[in-house]
Amino acid sequence: KESQDVVVLHVDIFTNYHEPEIAISAVKVLEKMGFQVLVTFVDTLGRPHLSKGFLKEAKEIAHQVISEWKHYAESEFPIIGLEPSEILTAKDEFLDLCEDEYLKDAQQIAKHCYTFEEFLAVNIERIPRAKLSESVIIHQHCHSKALTKKGLSSKVLSHIGFEVNELDSGCCGMAGSFGYEKDKYDLSMEIGSQRLFPAIIEDKKRSNVCASGFSCRHQIHDGTGFKAKHISVLISEKI
């Protein structure tokens, strides 16, 4: 295949061991769009280490991943991540973490990294449409809000045929493992209860709920009882 039809799908540790159906759905969607999918399993890109202050270990991971992924960038293959905080670590923090000898390769890798919804939005004309009479509430991951364009999931799901409501909900309150810490739990639930939880619980349309972040989906379930779906799962069910 031509290089523009080959994509690399990064299956992170959270997806691989907890919600593999997300990766399976992503492959189905990308193949329906006409792409050949190469799957790469890297246990972590260093996000948990960075979040907890283990910078030395995070740097070692960055160097290892850069060495493994540089040939994807050289081949002009898009590298697509399912967990925003993971793939955006490669796109952003790697550039500050790595030693000078790795920087050129890190910059090339960063140029080819996409969140799943970001890549779909760029290639939206290749996504099949569906005849739907369904609505969806979207909660955008904090890393995506900071490092990608706003409204990408809305753009993609509207194209497919959903009635879209993207919440201006701020953080879900979980923030990685923050909300699981004993002394942070009450604050975590308070943050979620400000806007996110009420918007879902009080929704009279009984909409689908879409959240691309692993911790966001678990926080939504714990705070509302509703199961939020990754955008790949939501799309694969409809096209």
Quote the pTM value. Answer: 0.93
Q: Which residues is 79 bridged to in the sheet? A: 8, 113
Together in a domain, 151 and 215: yes
Which of 83, 101, 119 is a domain's end point? 119
Give the least confident one: 59-73, 99-113, 114-128, 172-186.
172-186
Name the residue with higher pLDDT: 169 or 114.
114
127: pLDDT strictly greater than 70 = yes
Strand order across the beta sheet in which 113-115 lies: 36-41, 6-11, 79-81, 113-115
Together in a domain, 48 and 108: yes
- What pLDDT sits at residue 180? 83
**How many structural domains compose the chain?**
2
User: What are the tens digits of pLDDT across the range 14-31?
Assistant: 999 999 999 999 999 999
2: pLDDT strictly greater than 80 = no
Which of 96, 119, 142 is a domain's end point? 119
Mean pLDDT of 116-130: 97
CATH number for position 72: 3.40.50
Question: How far is 134 from 158, CA to CA, in rounded Å?
Answer: 11
- What pLDDT sits at residue 3? 56
- What pLDDT sits at residue 42? 85
Q: Which residues is 41 bridged to in the sheet? A: 11
Number of Cβ within 10 Å of residue 70's Cβ equals 16
- What pLDDT sits at residue 224? 96
Together in a domain, 115 and 9: yes
Question: How far is 157 from 117, CA to CA, in rounded Å?
Answer: 9
Together in a domain, 106 and 184: no
Strand order across the beta sheet in which 208-211 lies: 163-166, 135-139, 208-211
Together in a domain, 38 and 103: yes
Together in a domain, 185 and 223: yes
What do you get for the CA distance between the two ends of the chain, in Å?
A: 24
Residue where the block lists tokens 């910059």: 107
Together in a domain, 214 and 110: no
Together in a domain, 134 and 77: no
Which of 75, 99, 119 is a domain's end point? 119
Together in a domain, 136 and 232: yes
Mean pLDDT of 177-191: 90
Together in a domain, 80 and 140: no
Tell me which residue range forms the domain holding 64: 3-119
Mean pLDDT of 223-237: 97
Together in a domain, 194 and 107: no
Together in a domain, 38 and 85: yes
> Is residue 198 classed exposed, middle or buried when 0-12, 13-18 and 19+ CB atoms within 10 A define those classes?
middle
1: pLDDT strictly greater than 80 = no
Report the chain's mean pLDDT, rounded to a whole number: 94
Angstrom distances, CA of residue 78 to CA of 81, 119, 120, 132, 175: 10, 8, 11, 30, 27
